[in-house]
Amino acid sequence: MIAELQLFARVVAHDFQEPLRMVTSYVQLLAQRYQGRLDPDAEQWITYAVEGSKRLQRLILDLLAYHEVNTRTQEFAAVDCESVLAGVLFELRGTIAKRGATVTHDPLPTVRGDVAQLQEVFRNLVSNGIKFQQQEPPHVHISATQTENAWVFAVRDNGIGIDPHHLDRLFLVFQRLHATEPYPKPGIGLAMCKKIVERHGGRIWVESELGKGATFFFTIPR
Amino acid sequence: MQILLVEDNPADAFLTQEALRQEKSNDSSLSVVMDGQEALSFLRQGGKYAGVRRPDLILLDLNLPKKDGYTVLAEIKGDPLLKHIPVVVFTSSTAPRDILQAYALYANCYVIKPLDLENFFRVVQSVVKFWSVIASLPS
């Protein structure tokens, strides 16, 4: 059953992409060729169609990435979380500067895992911490503590926090918690994090109150 | 330069044509065949293709009816009369095993079709420019 589901996800992700690429490309070609010769309604509709098809492409790529979390063949190796975080902060430097965010961290350990996937987890949690912010400049702090058999990582932010009613839906695929802008459209980030952390034998959870920031925790076995 | 595009989806083939048409400095001409068998008859100048000029460059999709792209690639690279012609595998597959297999069969390069029109045009134009202007070919 699981094998069948995986096949289904892969077929959906790959075989949907092709016809969708035709829709996107031809709407863009229409826009390119007839720009300025259509009435404003038509131009607006073309924009909507392009946006819609690009969004669907994004969703399909996300779904494919989500599906591929467990099909990676890379062996686990020693991963220095300090340098993983440094890489993530470098990638996010544009966003950090734009939002005037501060990201601080305690010393982080070396763990065993898949470096690209752990980078994905840090990237998602840190960028969420920066994004879901209303007034103050965002501050994200990353720390790690040791228990008997695992490292517990914590990514704390001072953002808008999460309504307790939503906590159980947070780690599901394509869930939208905030009904309106300015918050980004629902993605797959936290569902990815959950799948990756579980592949490493750990777990992930969040503690938060509305208006009081959120702290995401995840464990990686030692 | 003479280019042979092996592509079963007419909408996709038209996009490649359009990319070349929009490139002003481009002076290549494109022939399109829609399956693997046709591709090989074209290259071997058989049947209705008697007298056609052999292409200088082949753009090959992998997902083809009758004979798939891998079979076509293997036949080209196993044929002393054809194996010198550069084959650019041009496909939407991002799967590492497709990339590996294409190079193992001596593809000259593997190019993934971009999802976005502007990038698609740019990639087609760059590939053709590379093989026609930058690279020197036997023909």
Residue of chain A nearest B114, judged by CA positions: A21
- B83–chain A nearest CA distance, Å: 30
Q: Is the pTM of this model over 0.95?
A: no
Residues B82, B85: Cα–Cα separation, whole Å: 6
Confidence (pLDDT) at B60: 96
Q: pLDDT class for A106, splitting at 50, 70, 90?
A: very high
List pLDDT tens digits, range B99-130.
Answer: 999 999 999 999 999 988 999 999 999 999 99
Structural domain tally of chain B? Answer: 1
Residues A159, A132: Cα–Cα separation, whole Å: 6
Q: Is residue B135 part of a domain?
A: no
Q: Is residue B67 part of a domain?
A: yes
Q: Is residue B92 part of a domain?
A: yes
What are the helix (H) ranges across chain B? 10-21, 36-43, 69-77, 96-104, 117-129
Total residue length of chain B: 139
Residue of chain B nearest A54, judged by CA positions: B116
Q: Is residue B84 part of a domain?
A: yes
Q: pLDDT class for B58, splitting at 50, 70, 90?
A: very high
Q: Is residue B42 part of a domain?
A: yes
3-state SS, B69-80, equals HHHHHHHHHCCC
**Chain B residues near residue A17 by CB distance under 8 angstroms:** 92, 115
| Torsion (CA) B134, B22, B94, B56 in degrees, nearest 10 | -40
Residues B40, B49: Cα–Cα separation, whole Å: 10
Does residue B36 contact residue B70 with C-beta atoms inside 8 Å?
no
Q: Is residue B65 part of a domain?
A: yes
Q: Is the pLDDT of residue A4 over 80?
A: no
Q: Is residue B106 part of a domain?
A: yes
- B11–chain A nearest CA distance, Å: 7
Burial B36-49 (b: 16+ CB within 10 A, else e): bebbbbbbeeeeee
**Chain A residues near residue B118 by CB distance under 8 angstroms:** 28
Contact state of A28 with B15 under an 8 Å Cβ cutoff: no
Write the CATH number for B41.
3.40.50.2300
Residue span of the structural domain in which B51 resides:
2-129
Does residue A174 contact residue A59 with C-beta atoms inside 8 Å?
yes
Q: Is residue B110 part of a domain?
A: yes
> Closest to A29 (Cβ–Cβ): which among B9, B18, B113?
B18
**Chain B residues near residue A24 by CB distance under 8 angstroms:** 115-117
